[in-house]
């Protein structure tokens, strides 16, 4: 029975399929992610890692099956509730997805503005998070003036500033050098240490080895379970 009553789980996927026309991107995915878990979804490019993450925050709907996130059944969620679902997540994209016309501060503050927080609180909280990720000195800079590593740190700051329950990171170190990748990994570990759930989609074996945590392997749209690195 799909009732989302498993209190230790924060994400559950039941027989989830995703196809684009005749092309099958995900096939019969069953997944259970516990609260405060650090999970890696690994696999080659085109295996369906990003698609799987998108299904979790309703970036796309599933073709078949059911997804439960923190008690919310995504098949039954109304359009008005989607923003509330997304506020449970902090999402880190491989291409950072920072708004080029806004400053570092504005990009991070956007999350708190969207959830209706007061200006004073936003000011304080954003500065604090930017300090944590080590980028406070670039607070008024536009994203295009930052290096790749710095941009990804801003993206991490944006992901954690709203204190989400889950962080989804899609290839977070894909275009970074190893030092910058370490910084990002430490930030993710910090979030995990404070009780958050982290799901990272990556094919970066080095990152997986350094982080530890559960690893699931995705190949041609099928989840194959744990795999040795």
**Per CB under 8 A, does 84 bind other proteins?**
yes
Interaction between residue 120 and other proteins (CB under 8 A): no
Query: What's the token pair of residue 100?
Result: 């080029």
> Do residues 24 and 185 make contact, with C-beta atoms less than 8 angstroms apart?
no
Is residue 162 a contact residue for other proteins (CB under 8 A)? yes
CA distance 61 to 10: 19
Using the rule CB under 8 A, is 86 a contact of other proteins? yes
What the block records as the tokens of 68 is 């439960």
* Residue 119 interacting with other proteins (CB under 8 A): yes
Cβ-based neighbours of 189, under 8 Å, separated by 6 or more: 38, 211
Distances (CA, A) of 56 to 9, 43, 61, 68, 226: 14, 18, 9, 8, 20
Among 97, 189, 203, 210, the residue binding other proteins under the rule CB under 8 A is 97
One of 59, 134, 195, 212 touching other proteins (CB under 8 A): 59
Minimum separation from the CB atom of position 132 to other proteins (A): 18
| 158 lies in the site for other proteins, by CB under 8 A | yes
| Residue (of 118, 123, 117, 160) closest to 139 by Cα position | 123
Q: Torsions phi, psi of 120, nearest 5?
A: -65, -45
Among 44, 75, 114, 214, binds other proteins (CB under 8 A): 114
For the CB of residue 229, give the shortest distance to other proteins in the complex, in Å: 30
User: Smallest gap, in angstroms, from Cβ of residue 90 to other proteins?
Assistant: 8
Instruction: Kindly state whether residue 140 participates in binding other proteins, applying the rule CB under 8 A.
Output: no
């Amino acid at each position: 029975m799909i009732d989302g009553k498993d209190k230790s789980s924060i994400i559950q996927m039941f027989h989830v399929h995703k196809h684009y026309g005749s092309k099958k991107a995900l096939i019969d995915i069953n997944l259970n992610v516990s609260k405060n878990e650090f999970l890696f979804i690994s696999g080659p490019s085109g295996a369906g890692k990003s698609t799987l993450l998108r299904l979790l925050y309703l970036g796309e709907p599933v073709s078949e099956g059911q997804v439960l996130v923190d008690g919310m059944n995504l098949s039954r969620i109304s359009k008005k509730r989607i923003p509330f679902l997304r506020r449970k997540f902090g999402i880190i994209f491989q291409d950072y997805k920072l708004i080029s016309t806004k400053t570092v501060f504005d990009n991070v503050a956007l999350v708190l503005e969207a959830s209706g927080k007061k200006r004073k609180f936003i000011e304080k909280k954003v500065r604090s998070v930017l300090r944590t990720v080590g980028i406070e000195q670039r607070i008024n800079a536009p994203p295009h003036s930052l290096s790749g590593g710095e941009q990804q740190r801003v993206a991490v700051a944006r992901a954690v500033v709203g204190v989400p329950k889950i962080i989804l990171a899609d290839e977070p170190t894909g275009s970074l050098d190893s030092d910058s990748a370490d910084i990002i990994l430490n930030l993710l570990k910090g979030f995990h240490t404070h009780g958050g759930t982290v799901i990272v989609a990556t094919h970066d074996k080095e990152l997986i080895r350094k982080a530890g945590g559960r690893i699931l392997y995705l190949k041609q749209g099928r989840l194959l379970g744990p795999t040795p690195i």
